[in-house]
């Protein structure tokens, strides 16, 4: 028989198959409190909670946009757009070590060679941007085992489609990186296709790539490269932004160059750009990152939606697949190869939000990457903007957790050494007043503000606007929270927030592609 904490009052269908459930806390004499009595106690105690919550935040100490992360020995390194980079030993406090798109930045040793005579090699095709300078965006650094080198894949660009992907190599993770070559081009027409490698690879009549103008509804913008190893040790690059969508191409580990595939129209494989995974028609999808997780057996595809500005609705979404080349689907079971409206596709992991303890409203998180540390913990690394600070941004790192159905959810606060309690918590520990944020599926400047709810001793959820039930699986960190017709599956953990408050949190995802966060402040 499955053990319960407290009584179940009028709730049916709440048993978890093959697992025990906790509904909330027993009274000291072993009897359960009534719903009304519990609600009265919790409501009375909740009235002055916010006055006791410490308010605050923290600064990361660096500003790195579109950060990619790599660990070398005991130090984490992030590399971002505009040749910015930083390092940390705790994923929280960062120290920059390169900045500025110019020859004085020693991240590269030859990127600007020949500038006095014209555009350097990495910029010959794209030229200068509208400000009259050069754009170096969204790098990704990986240690190539066969080359025995750190390899940086990055893009140079000058317009919303005229871009190319390049690579550089180094013996030390901090550089200097030596520009090697450019291998993927976008944004050309028949007037300037000869400046790319299209004709060399595809022949002198490279249709359907060229026309009077570039078909950016169907072909990619060659930026935002992300390179990774699959479960078999093969190397791949996923890339793309807006335009024709997100594409995947295999990388030759021996050389660092792409392995241009044979065309396969039925499976959406192009002989130059590789396989189209999703997106297109200039929908606001970019910053792809793929991480293989051996524990779950899934490839997780992280994406940014929206415009990157603070009020642009930037946010992070998630898809998954059990093979590297798709088809990637979201928490609702939908793929996104053919579609028009993308806001309802993809599990929304995080958007604009705030909590009572935060002195800053968090806006436009994105440009993400993820990784598994040596201790098995998963982390999400991204850049974060804030309300009322213009376009100021900083790196943030949140721990990721696997749900019981194989999805990933992020902790509500920046990592600070927290560890998931694998055997979970009792009903006594869980029940109480929570501040709930639902990230929704919108792509907008809306700030998702917390609503106060009670997780009651009888397994019900009560709030001014929200009603439902909750259920925790005994001996595990798993929790289900049902609000209206939607059930969200996730984990419970304790962690310290950015203001220094001890909290109990839950992070859970729904089959409606929404993520909810709940925070209970553990006040003295």
In order of 117, 156, 198, 241, 464, the CA distances from 127 in angstroms are: 13, 9, 18, 19, 57
Active site members? 66, 286
Bridge partners, 455 (sequence order): 432, 461
Q: Report the pLDDT averaged over residues 68-74.
A: 98
Mean pLDDT of all residues in 441-463: 98
- In this predicted structure, the answer to whether residue 11 has a pLDDT above a threshold of 50 is no
Give which of 443, 403, 369 is closest to 139, Cα–Cα. Answer: 369
Return the pLDDT at 204.
Answer: 67
Residue 3, both tokens: 């053990």
Rounded to an integer, the average pLDDT of 245-255 is: 98
Residue 191 has a pLDDT of: 83
Q: Is 232 helix (H, G, I), strand (E, B) or coil?
A: coil
pLDDT attached to residue 34: 42
pLDDT of residue 79 exceeding 80, the answer is yes
How is the chain split into domains, by residue range? 21-57+420-521
- State percent of the chain over pLDDT 90: 84
State residue 340's pLDDT score: 64
According to the model, what pLDDT value does residue 338 have? 74
Which residue did the predictor score with more confidence, 160 or 6?
160
Instruction: Check residue 45 and give its pLDDT.
Output: 53
Q: Is the separation of the CB atoms in 230 and 324 below 8 Å? A: yes
- Mean pLDDT, rounded, of the chain: 91
Distance CA 64, CA 87 (A): 11
Q: Which of 504, 478, 226 is nearest to 369 (CA)?
A: 226
Per-residue pLDDT, 17: 33
Instruction: Kindly state the average pLDDT of the residues 511-519.
Output: 99
Q: How far is CA 72 from the centre of its chain?
A: 22
CA dist 331 and 406 (Å) reads 10
pLDDT-derived band at 173 (thresholds 50, 70, 90) equals: very high
Under the banding of pLDDT at 50, 70 and 90, the label for residue 411 is very high
**Are the CB atoms for 60 and 396 separated by under 8 Å?**
yes
Q: What is the pLDDT of residue 49?
A: 83
pLDDT for res 511: 98
Mean pLDDT along residues 420-434: 96
Asked if omega into 208 is within 30° of 0 (cis), the reply is: yes
Angstrom distance (rounded) from CA 460 to CA 471: 9
The pLDDT tens digits for 16-51 are: 333 334 333 333 333 334 444 444 444 445 557 889
- The answer to whether residues 208 and 214 touch, using CB atoms and an 8 Å cutoff, is no
Give the residue-averaged pLDDT of 119-143.
98
**pLDDT confidence of residue 192:** 87
Whether the per-residue pLDDT at 65 is higher than 90: the answer is yes
The pTM is what?
Answer: 0.91
pLDDT, residue 25, reads 35
CA pair distance 54, 155, nearest whole angstrom: 43
pLDDT in tens, 176-186: 999 999 999 99
Domain with residues 21-57+420-521, CATH architecture: Beta Barrel (2.40)
Question: So what's the pLDDT on residue 341?
Answer: 80
Residue 211's pLDDT is 66
Q: Is residue 5 scored above 50 in pLDDT?
A: no
> Read out DSSP for 273-338?
TEEEEE--TT-SEEEEEEEEETTTTEEEEEEEESBSSTTTB-EEEEEEESSTT---B-TTS-B-SS
State the DSSP code for 261.
Answer: P
Q: pLDDT digit string (tens) for 350-409?
A: 999 999 999 999 999 999 999 999 999 999 999 999 999 999 999 999 999 999 999 999
Confidence check: pLDDT of 81 > 80: yes
């Amino acid at each position: 028989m499955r053990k319960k904490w407290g009584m179940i009052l009028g709730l049916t269908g709440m048993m978890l198959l093959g697992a025990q459930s906790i509904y909330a806390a027993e009274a000291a004499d072993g009897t359960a409190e009534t719903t009304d009595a519990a609600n009265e106690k919790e409501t009375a105690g909740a009235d002055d909670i916010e006055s006791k919550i410490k308010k605050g935040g923290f600064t990361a100490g660096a500003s790195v946009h579109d950060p990619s992360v790599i660990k070398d020995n005991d130090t984490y390194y992030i590399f971002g757009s505009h040749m910015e980079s930083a390092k940390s030993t705790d994923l929280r406090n960062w120290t920059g070590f390169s900045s500025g798109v110019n020859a004085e930045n020693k991240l590269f040793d030859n990127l600007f060679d020949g500038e006095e005579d014209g555009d350097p090699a990495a910029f010959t095709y794209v030229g200068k941007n509208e400000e009259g300078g050069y754009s170096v965006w969204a790098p990704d650094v990986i240690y190539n085992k066969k080359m025995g080198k750190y390899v940086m894949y990055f893009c140079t660009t000058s317009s919303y489609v005229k871009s190319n992907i390049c690579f550089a190599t180094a013996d030390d993770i901090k550089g200097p990186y030596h520009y090697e070559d450019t291998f993927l081009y976008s944004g050309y027409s028949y007037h300037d296709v000869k400046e790319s490698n299209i004709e060399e690879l595809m022949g002198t009549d490279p249709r359907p790539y060229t026309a009077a103008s570039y078909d950016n509804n169907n072909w990619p913008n060659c930026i935002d490269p992300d390179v990774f190893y699959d479960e078999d040790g093969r190397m791949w690059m996923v890339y793309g932004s807006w335009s024709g969508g997100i594409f995947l191409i295999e990388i030759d580990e021996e050389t660092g160059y792409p392995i241009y595939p044979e065309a396969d129209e039925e499976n959406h494989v192009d002989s130059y750009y590789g396989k189209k995974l999703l997106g297109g028609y200039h929908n606001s999808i970019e910053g792809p990152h793929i991480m293989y997780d051996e524990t779950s057996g899934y490839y997780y595809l992280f994406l940014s939606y929206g415009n990157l500005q603070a009020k642009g609705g930037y946010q992070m979404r998630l898809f998954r697949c059990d093979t590297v080349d798709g088809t990637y689907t979201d928490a609702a079971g939908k793929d996104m190869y053919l579609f028009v409206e993308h806001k309802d596709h993809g599990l929304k992991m995080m958007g604009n939000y705030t909590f009572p303890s935060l002195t800053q409203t968090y806006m436009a998180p994105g440009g993400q990457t993820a990784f598994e540390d040596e201790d098995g913990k998963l982390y999400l690394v991204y850049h974060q903007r804030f309300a009322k600070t213009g376009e100021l941004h900083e790196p943030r790192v949140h721990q990721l957790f696997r749900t019981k159905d194989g999805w990933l959810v992020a902790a509500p606060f920046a990592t600070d050494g927290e560890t998931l309690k694998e055997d979970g918590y009792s009903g006594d520990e869980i029940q109480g007043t929570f501040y709930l944020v639902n990230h929704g599926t919108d792509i907008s400047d809306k700030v998702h503000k917390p609503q106060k709810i009670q997780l009651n001793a009888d397994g019900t959820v009560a709030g001014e606007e929200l009603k439902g039930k909750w259920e925790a699986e005994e001996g595990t960190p798993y929790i289900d929270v049902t609000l209206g017709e939607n059930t969200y599956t996730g984990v419970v953990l304790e962690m310290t927030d950015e203001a220094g408050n001890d909290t109990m949190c839950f992070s859970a995802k729904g089959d409606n592609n929404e993520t909810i966060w709940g925070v209970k402040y553990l006040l003295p």
